[in-house]
């Protein structure tokens, strides 16, 4: 299929933790994005949604790959990462942890979100002291894979280069529509 590298094949940091603080959290309506950090040959960021929608008063967190379609992360890249979010109080004490999540990130799925606590519960646990939210993410990349460009896939009954699957699928669909 493609080239796959185990974590021991990579000469770089695969396990990373990153912490950032959001001031005046209760006044935020739009999502807040962290600076990027590096793990497993990828730049990542965390996006915090203070309120997912007007019906949900919970904090949502999302781990995402920076520029998933750029030339530095080429077509066909994949990263399997285990991650969890941790909410800290102002003294660095853990207030809340999400369960460990394992996700295969790719060009088709460059982000994974996790809903956490309702705001009222988070405040009650000390997670929003002085209206500051402190989010820590722990990321461990366990698999790195990418395509060489020579892989083949089947569309209808034809074998085509993987890079041409979308084009051939569109042609096939439009041909069926005309019949």
3-state secondary structure 76-93: CCEEEEEEEEEEECCCCC
Write out the residue range of the structural domain in which residue 74 sits. 3-146
Shared domain for 121 and 158, answered yes or no, is no
Per-residue pLDDT at 116: 78
pTM: 0.72
Q: Is 123 strand, coil or helix?
A: helix
Shared domain for 15 and 93, answered yes or no, is yes
Per-residue pLDDT at 29: 83
**Contact 145/57 with Cβ under 8 angstroms?**
no
Count the domains in the chain.
2
Per-residue pLDDT at 5: 36
> At 22, which CATH number?
2.60.210.10
Shared domain for 90 and 176, answered yes or no, is no
Shared domain for 141 and 155, answered yes or no, is no
Low pLDDT (below 70) residues in the chain: 1-13, 52-56, 69-76, 146-155, 162-166, 169, 172-179
**Contact 161/151 with Cβ under 8 angstroms?**
yes
Shared domain for 119 and 159, answered yes or no, is no
Shared domain for 133 and 51, answered yes or no, is yes
The percentage of the chain sitting over the pLDDT mark of 70, rounded to a whole number, equals 70
Per-residue pLDDT at 139: 95
**Contact 77/106 with Cβ under 8 angstroms?**
yes
HSE at residue 174, side-chain half, CA atoms within 13 A, is 5
């Amino acid at each position: 299929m493609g080239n796959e590298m185990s974590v021991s094949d990579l000469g770089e940091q695969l396990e990373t933790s990153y912490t950032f603080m959001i001031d005046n959290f209760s006044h935020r309506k739009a999502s807040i994005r962290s600076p990027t950090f590096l793990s497993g040959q990828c730049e990542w960021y965390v996006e915090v949604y203070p309120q997912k929608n007007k019906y949900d008063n919970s904090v949502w967190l999302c781990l995402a790959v920076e520029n998933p379609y750029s030339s530095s992360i080429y077509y066909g890249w994949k990263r399997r990462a285990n991650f969890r979010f941790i909410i800290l109080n102002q003294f660095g004490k853990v207030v809340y942890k999400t369960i460990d999540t394992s996700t295969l990130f790719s060009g088709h799925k460059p982000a994974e979100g996790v809903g956490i606590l309702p705001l009222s519960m988070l405040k009650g646990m000390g997670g929003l002291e002085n209206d500051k939210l402190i989010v820590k993410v722990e990321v461990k990349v366990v698999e790195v894979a990418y395509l060489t460009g020579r892989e083949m896939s089947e569309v209808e009954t034809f074998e085509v280069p993987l890079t041409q699957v979308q084009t051939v699928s569109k042609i096939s669909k439009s041909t069926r529509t005309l019949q």
